[in-house]
A and B are shown apart, each in its own frame.
Chain A
Amino acid sequence: MKNKPAGLYIHVPFCLSKCAYCSFYSSSSLHLIDEFTKSIPREMAFYKNIFPSFDTIYIGGGTPSLLSVAQVHDILLAIHFNFQIHLQAEITMEVNPGDASQDYLQQLRALGINRINIGIQSFDDTLLKFLGRRHSARSALAAVEAARAAGFENLGMDFIYGVSGQTMDSWKQTLKTAVDLCAEHLSCYQLSLDKKTPLHQRYLTEGLSLLTEDQALDYFLTTSQVLTDAGYTHYEVSNFARTDSLKSRHNMKYWCHTPYLGLGPAAHTFLDHQRWWNKSSVEAYLKSIAGEMKPQEGFEKLSLEQLRLEAWFLGMRTKDGIDLAQFKTSYGCDLLTDKKPIIDELIRNRLVELTERHLHPTLAGMAVADSLALI
């Protein structure tokens, strides 16, 4: 675990406006972006000795594409200055379709960004409006075209399904469009409503309903079927890659207990048995940095049992599942012995499968990963 190369995450918490379904912290105080850009490198200095090198970098948000090319440049420069970055590193940036002009993308490419993740959500304008997105299906298509023209060969697209007003046909159409665009990577999330969000309020007042269990399963299986038929690998509950090498290497680190450093407001870091996270308000974050303080808000040291629980539930969300021998070495638990009756039952019910080294969820198992997590 320790000698695996770590991942670096930069959180850009700014948004022009909040999407109706989003419950995460974001700030619309865009005038702070400049100070934020200058603070990130100062935060790096705190960690340059404990995280010497990275092989993935992920600039996420929020809306990172609110940063100017110069600001992205400064951040990347600071990264190279403070840390060793592998030559073949995966360097991703999230981009909003509305911000994705060919010129902007070309310059990002020139800075060394080699993977773009576009928050498309849907190719259906009615749904985009319902979700409170600022872009249209047309601008999403244009963004993809621009990214290709800018030379990006690794393109990820995010989608949401299970939205009120959506039909299975319209969802299949969206998937087909993504496949036709040769997306290297797709993330397909089932809509869930957080109580704090305006969309939740709207569902309540308009008497809208979420998917039933059967419908949700239907969408989940259809999504998997359509994309695997098109040659994609369904490698995590919500994630699909055109080939194994096109999986999101950065996100895989989260699911494999690989160390990662998170910089910026609200970002989480994991190292050995420790996890810590930054203050989530931009102002508080900037104040800490200005005062030469680490902007940390919380810290936890994970017990072996907690690590084991995390490794188990994360493993049950991924196609590769759990490497049994490694699990035993790392967490002191021989799953096949300690959990034999339940694992036998899960195998009998085809929710998990046993290969030579691995215990991994089947498609039906991934659909109930929250429950698998509880055994």
Chain B
Amino acid sequence: MNDTPALVVDSVSHSFGALGVLEGVSLAVPRGSITAVLGPSGGGKTTLLRAVAGFETPSEGTVRIAGNVVVHDGRSLVPPERRGVTIVPQEGALFPHLSVFDNIAFGLKKRRGSDAEKRVRHLLDVIELGDLADARPSSLSGGMQQRVALARALAPSPALVLLDEPFTALDATLRQTVRDEVVATLRREGETALWVTHDQQEALSVADQVAVLLDGRLVQVADPVTLYREPATKQVAQFVGDAVVLRGTVDHDGVHALCDTGRVTLSRPAVAGPTDIVIRPEQIEISANSVDPNSPSCDGVVCSTRFFGHDGIVDVRLASGFVVSVRVHATLLPAVGECVDVRVNGPVLAFA
């Protein structure tokens, strides 16, 4: 196995006029892996993707694809068509004048002949659209179009596939199914992919590695579990999942802290003193307590509840007056005005 990364982005910066959109972005995508670039819209994700694909030339930095330098210090050395990088755009962008078969065959060096036929048939089977080879893209559903767009991108065996928020055009129920199919296909074919998304659940569930891009800077690159459990900054913590942020004080031992919910354990040592404590809603557990809501031994009072079916959110006003949101099983929804005990399970994060 060759262990040159499929993609290396080294200190890439880019700006549109005075507006900086990428600042010193560095990232390596190992072969056969899926890397998600996660960030809010306007965070520079699409610019990064277009810089890799060759539709944008970043003003500084180097991009290497399969070891070859394609961009260096503001000059594009290899045009998009010779980078070996294919894209799956947001809305598929299938060629409407070509059949499904011809769409998939578009990027093959030889589009006629038995090899091409075999390759396209294989991909049609992989995306389970074997019987729609002659269909026009306009007759396909959004999900099918997206699968064809993926097959088209995989056909020429690219060094890297770029997926640009590939499912935003689909409705929520369809998105999950198509996403699973696409990930399964990428895995089965051993493809390398750079997947741009603003959806943290999507990023965490599909990727081997997630790169968080906030305001044009890569704030953290890590595997999904590490990213969620040990985010580098408070901003990342809040971006990759729901978070309850409380003011607190780190003990002199550096591994415990005191906050509105009482004494908590830190997931990593911190400097003693005032701090922000970040708790995931699922770490907070509440249980009914029959004491008078006004008594000092009451941890918190339920001030509102929201019912979602399988679970619900309970807003609890702590003794300090601070309101925290807690996720609970739907069957355990307490009544508004009730007193509850509040407990924090597991270690929490402190950001000074």
Partners in one complex: no
B→A interface (CB under 8 Å)? none
